[in-house]
Amino acid sequence: MTAYLLKRIAIAIATLVLASLVVFAVLEIVPGDPARLMLGMNASAEQVEQLRTQMGLNDPLLLRYLHWAGDLLTLDLGRSLTYSVPVLDLVRERVAVSLPLALIALALSAVIAIPVGLYSASRRGHAGDTLAMGAAQIGVAIPNFWFALMLIYLFAVWLRLVPAGGFPGWGNGIWPALKSLLLPAVALALPQAAILARVTRSALIDVLNEDYIRTARAKGLPYRAVLWQHALRNAMIPVLTILGLQFAFLLAGTIIIENVFYLPGLGRLVFQAITQRDLIVVESVVMLLVAAVIAVNLIVDLSYAIVDPRLRGRE
Amino acid sequence: MNSWKSVLAATALALASATSAMAARTDIVIGIPLEPPHLDPTASAAAAIDEVLYANVFQGLTRIGPSGEVLPDLAESWTISDDGKTYTFKLHSGVKFHDGSDFNADDVKFSLDRARGEKSANAQKALFAAIDTVEVVDPATVKITLKNPQGSFLYNLGWGDAVIVAPESADTNKEKPIGTGPFRFENWAKGSSITLVKSADYWGEPAFLDKAEFRIVPDAAAAVPALLSGDVQAFPFFQPDGVAQIEGDPRFSVVVGATEGETLLSMNNKKPPFDNLKVRQAISYALDRAAIVEGASAGFGKPIGSHQSPASKDYVDLTGMYPHDVAKAKELLKEAGLENGFKATLKLPPPSYARLGGEIIASQLREVGIDLEIIPVEWAQWLEQVFKGKDFDLTIVSHTEPNDIDIYSRKDYYFNYDNPAFDKVIGELKVTSDEAKRKDLLGQAQKILAEDAVVGFLFELPKVGVWDAKLEGFWTDAPIQANDITKVKWKD
Whether pTM exceeds 0.90: no
Are residues B23 and B208 in contact, defined by beta-carbon separation less than 8 angstroms?
Answer: no
A174 shares contact with chain B (CB less than 8 Å): no
- Write the pLDDT tens digit of every residue in B292-337: 999 999 999 999 999 999 888 899 999 999 999 999 999 999 999 9
pLDDT of residue A313: 60
pLDDT of residue B205: 93
Q: Do A39 and B231 touch (CB under 8 A)?
A: no
In B367-419, which ranges are continuous DSSP H helix? 379-381
CB < 8 Å to B191, chain A: 93-94, 97, 263-265, 268-269, 272
Query: Judging by DSSP bridges, how do beta strands B394-399 and B342-348 pair with one another?
Result: parallel
pLDDT of residue A312: 66
pLDDT of residue B22: 53
A215 shares contact with chain B (CB less than 8 Å): no
- Residues of chain A above pLDDT 90, percent: 31
Would the pLDDT of B45 be above 90? no
Q: Do B190 and A93 touch (CB under 8 A)?
A: yes
Q: How confident is the model at residue A315 (pLDDT cuts 50, 70, 90)?
A: very low
| Nearest chain A Cα distance for residue B490, angstroms | 22
- Write the pLDDT tens digit of every residue in B8-24: 455 444 444 444 445 67
For A118, A120, A200, A224, B62, the CA distances from A208, given in Å and listed in that order, are 11, 12, 12, 12, 80
Q: How confident is the model at residue B183 (pLDDT cuts 50, 70, 90)?
A: very high
Q: Find residues 171-210 of chain B whose CB sits inside 8 Å of chain A.
A: 174-175, 189-193
- Write the pLDDT tens digit of every residue in B46-83: 889 999 999 999 999 999 999 889 999 999 999 999 99
| Per-chain mean pLDDT for chain B | 91
pLDDT of residue B168: 94
Query: Helix, strand, coil: what percent of chain A each, to 5?
Result: 80, 0, 20
Q: Which of B380, B216, B45 has its CA nearest to residue A274?
A: B380
A230 shares contact with chain B (CB less than 8 Å): no
| Nearest chain B Cα distance for residue A144, angstroms | 13
Distance in angstroms (rounded) separating the CA atoms of residues B75 and B91: 4
Q: Which residues contact B212 (CB under 8 A, 6 or more apart)?
A: B27, B28, B29, B30, B56, B183, B195, B196, B197, B485, B488
| Nearest chain A Cα distance for residue B404, angstroms | 10
| Nearest chain A Cα distance for residue B1, angstroms | 46
Give the residue range(s) of CATH 1.10.3720.10 domains in chain A: 94-312
- A131 or A232, higher pLDDT: A131
Number of other CB atoms surrounding residue A264 within 10 Å: 25
H/E stretch holding A267: helix A266-275
Are residues B460 and B311 in contact, defined by beta-carbon separation less than 8 angstroms?
Answer: yes
Output b/e per residue, A221-235; b: 16+ Cβ within 10 A: eeeeebbeebbbebb
Output b/e per residue, B405-431; b: 16+ Cβ within 10 A: bbbbbbeebbbbbebeebbebbebbbe
Q: Do A275 and B119 touch (CB under 8 A)?
A: no
Would the pLDDT of A254 be above 70? yes
- B228, closest residue in chain A (CA to CA): A157
Number of other CB atoms surrounding residue A7 within 10 Å: 11
Distance in angstroms (rounded) separating the CA atoms of residues B466 and B485: 14
| Per-chain mean pLDDT for chain A | 87
Q: Do A39 and B44 touch (CB under 8 A)?
A: yes
Q: How confident is the model at residue A38 (pLDDT cuts 50, 70, 90)?
A: confident
Q: Do B225 and A272 touch (CB under 8 A)?
A: no
Would the pLDDT of B241 be above 90? no
| Nearest chain A Cα distance for residue B45, angstroms | 5
CA angle B472, B474, B475 (to 5 degrees): 140
ipTM reported for the complex, 2 dp: 0.83
Q: Which residues contact B228 (CB under 8 A, 6 or more apart)?
A: A157, A164
CA angle B260, B174, A181 (to 5 degrees): 90
Distance in angstroms (rounded) separating the CA atoms of residues A50 and B92: 36
A261 shares contact with chain B (CB less than 8 Å): yes
Are residues A196 and A242 in contact, defined by beta-carbon separation less than 8 angstroms?
Answer: yes
A27 shares contact with chain B (CB less than 8 Å): no
Would the pLDDT of B203 be above 90? yes
pLDDT of residue B6: 53
- B409 or B220, higher pLDDT: B409
- Collapsed DSSP state (helix, strand, coil) of residue B60: coil
Would the pLDDT of B3 be above 80? no
Could you write out the three-class secondary structure of B28-50? Answer: EEEEECCCCCCCCHHHCCCHHHH
Q: Do B231 and A165 touch (CB under 8 A)?
A: yes
Distance in angstroms (rounded) separating the CA atoms of residues A98 and A250: 8
A86 shares contact with chain B (CB less than 8 Å): no
Q: How confident is the model at residue A173 (pLDDT cuts 50, 70, 90)?
A: confident
**Which own/partner contact pairs does A243-246 have at CB distance under 8 Å and 24+ positions apart?**
A243/A106, A243/A109, A243/A110, A243/A196, A243/A300, A244/A296, A244/A297, A244/A299, A244/A300, A246/A106, A246/A109, A246/A192, A246/A195, A246/A196
pLDDT of residue B194: 96
Rg of the Cα atoms in chain A: 24
CB < 8 Å to B412, chain A: 45
Q: Do A50 and B119 touch (CB under 8 A)?
A: yes
| Nearest chain B Cα distance for residue A170, angstroms | 11
The single-letter DSSP state of residue B216 is E
CATH superfamily entry for domain A94-312: MetI-like (1.10.3720.10)
The single-letter DSSP state of residue A241 is H
A156 shares contact with chain B (CB less than 8 Å): yes
Distance in angstroms (rounded) separating the CA atoms of residues B453 and B460: 17
Q: Find residues 152-171 of chain B whose CB sits inside 8 Å of chain A.
A: none
Q: What average pLDDT score do residues B471-488 get?
A: 94
Would the pLDDT of A114 be above 50? yes
Q: Find residues 96-155 of chain A whose CB sits inside 8 Å of chain B.
A: 97, 145, 149, 152-153
B46 shares contact with chain A (CB less than 8 Å): yes
Q: Find residues 294-353 of chain B whose CB sits inside 8 Å of chain A.
A: none
Q: Which of B49, B100, B103 has its CA nearest to residue B74?
A: B103
| Nearest chain A Cα distance for residue B267, angstroms | 17
Amino acid sitting at position B320: G
CB < 8 Å to A43, chain B: 45, 123-125
pLDDT of residue B376: 94
B226 shares contact with chain A (CB less than 8 Å): yes
* Residue B178 falls in which region: left (phi positive, over 0), alpha (psi -120 to 50) or beta: beta
CB < 8 Å to B119, chain A: 50
A264-273, A293-302, B222-231, B269-278: which has the minimum mean pLDDT? Answer: A293-302
- Residues of chain B above pLDDT 70, percent: 95
Would the pLDDT of A260 be above 70? yes
- A221 or B345, higher pLDDT: B345
- Mutate one of B44, B171, B231, B392 to test the A interface: name it (highest A CB count within 10 A): B231
Q: What average pLDDT score do residues B469-476 get?
A: 95
- A75 or B131, higher pLDDT: B131
pLDDT of residue B15: 46
Amino acid sitting at position B426: I
Q: Do A31 and B217 touch (CB under 8 A)?
A: no
Distance in angstroms (rounded) separating the CA atoms of residues A193 and A105: 9
Q: How confident is the model at residue A1 (pLDDT cuts 50, 70, 90)?
A: low
Maximal CA-CA distance, chain B: 96
pLDDT of residue B358: 96
pLDDT of residue B5: 52
H/E stretch holding A260: helix A255-260
- Pick from A84, A157, A264: which is nearest to B229 by CB? A157
Q: Is A57 exposed, middle or buried (0-12, 13-18, 19+ CB in 10 A)?
A: middle
Are residues B437 and B430 in contact, defined by beta-carbon separation less than 8 angstroms?
Answer: no
Q: How confident is the model at residue A125 (pLDDT cuts 50, 70, 90)?
A: confident
Quick one: CA dihedral B172, B176, B178, B179, positive or negative?
positive
